[in-house]
Amino acid sequence: MSDLDFACKQCGADLKYDPKASALTCPYCGTENEIAAATDDIGEQDFHAFINKKQESEETYEVQTAKCSSCGAESTLDPNVASDSCPFCGDVITKQASSHKLIKPQSLLPFQVDKGTASSAFRDWLKKLWFAPNKLKKMRNMAESMQGVFLPHWTYDSDCVTSYVGRRGEYYYVNETYSTTNSKGQRVTRTRRVRKTRWYPAHGVVQNTFDDILVVASESLPKKYVEKLEPWGLENLVKYDQQFASGFKTESYGVDLEQGFEDAQEKMRPVIEQTIKRDIGGDTQRIINYSTGYKDITFKHILLPVWLSCYRYQEKVFRFVVNARTGEVQGERPWSAWKIGLAVFGGIIVLGVIVFALKNQ
């Protein structure tokens, strides 16, 4: 996906998207150039039909990306930039672009949080880190190197029909006698109520409908951090327009369409299993096995906005990411061994004082 230049209607200068104004803003004369709202709907694409004809599909296009030799991330560079720092690891990437045939993005969420607000959110996040090295907390200028990046995602819809075999458990109670020693050291017999379970065979068919199961298509960031940026508010998606991406980088997806659906199935699995257990009924349930068929599968390729930066600490790269819609911050962090050791040592001393006090009461 190559960046395009958009000219200011007032002075003709290159425009960049301004999250504060929700428009293309001229850095020279300040004129806001509104982006016309798309009137057509954001359509879903048929999963199986697309896979069968994707080579000749109109929904694919040739894209040139610059690949980082250190971390392998592929992203765009501005047309007038020959080299830049990789937003994922900080190393220099040069415009030795390679061409790929990729699925076009259908929609995106525009940037809503500007760089200044994202920087403040990052600094606040730094302050809250327990046992972080002192040097890290002084590296607040890291926020100034943040880059705006669109991360690729897939969404999937599917109707699911699942046949299962399991067991239904129903509780019942019996009285049970047992021997114990009372406070006087005497052996006594007592009665208690014990819960037991009767198991019955169960089988059946259940249905589930899933809408917009979100799957991260980036391999450049740890998935657990990107997923913790949710929720995004996907109901606010707008039809893809490259004007929204002006001034930002866009990462190419590393998880393809078919692999993405496998990831979506893993996200569907707990919901399907809960549906099976409700259908089995009783007081407790066991699922022996089940088989799911997926029908009417559709997908969207969407782009979600983040502010991204990285820092090196003791020769290791740590990355942090800010949701450019909500300001949520997630990231990797180093730990201070001496602070942790000091805290443990302090805890041992406090525990020793408490034990000593109790013994001398």
Of 341 and 107, more confident: 107
Q: What is the mean pLDDT of residues 164-184?
A: 93
Q: What is the pLDDT of residue 17?
A: 84
3-state secondary structure of 2: coil
Cβ–Cβ under 8 Å, residues 313 and 135: yes
Give the integer Cα–Cα distance in Å for 317 and 20: 31
Q: What is the mean pLDDT of residues 56-69?
A: 65
Q: What is the pLDDT of residue 14?
A: 75
- Residue 326: is its pLDDT beyond 70? yes
User: pTM for this structure?
Assistant: 0.78
Among 301, 208, 201, which Cα is nearest to 251's? Answer: 301
Phi then psi for 286, rounded to 5 degrees?
-130, 130
Phi then psi for 312, rounded to 5 degrees?
-105, 130
Q: Is the peptide bond before 231 cis (omega within 30 degrees of 0)?
A: yes
What proportions of the chain, in percent to the nearest 5, are helix, strand and coil? 25, 40, 35
Q: What is the mean pLDDT of residues 188-211?
A: 96
- For residue 226, give the H/E element and its range: helix 223-227
Q: What is the pLDDT of residue 29?
A: 72
DSSP 241: -
Measured at the CA of 141, the angle between CA 320 and CA 20, to 5 degrees, comes to: 70
pLDDT in tens, 218-240: 988 888 889 999 999 999 999 99
Residue partners of 360: CB distance under 8 A and separation at least 6: none
The 3-state secondary structure of 58-104 reads CCEEEEEEEECCCCCCEECCCCCCCEEECCCCCCEEECCCEEEEEEC
pLDDT in tens, 99-157: 667 888 999 999 999 988 888 887 777 776 655 555 555 555 555 678 899 999 999 99
- 100 C-beta neighbours (distance < 10 Å), count: 14
User: What burial class does residue 141 get, using C-beta atoms within 10 Å of its C-beta: 0-12 exposed, 13-18 middle, 19+ buried?
Assistant: exposed
The tokens describing 134, both together, are 């002192």
Burial 283-295 (b: 16+ CB within 10 A, else e): eebeeeebebebe
Of 287 and 137, more confident: 287
Q: What is the pLDDT of residue 72?
A: 67
Of 153 and 250, more confident: 153
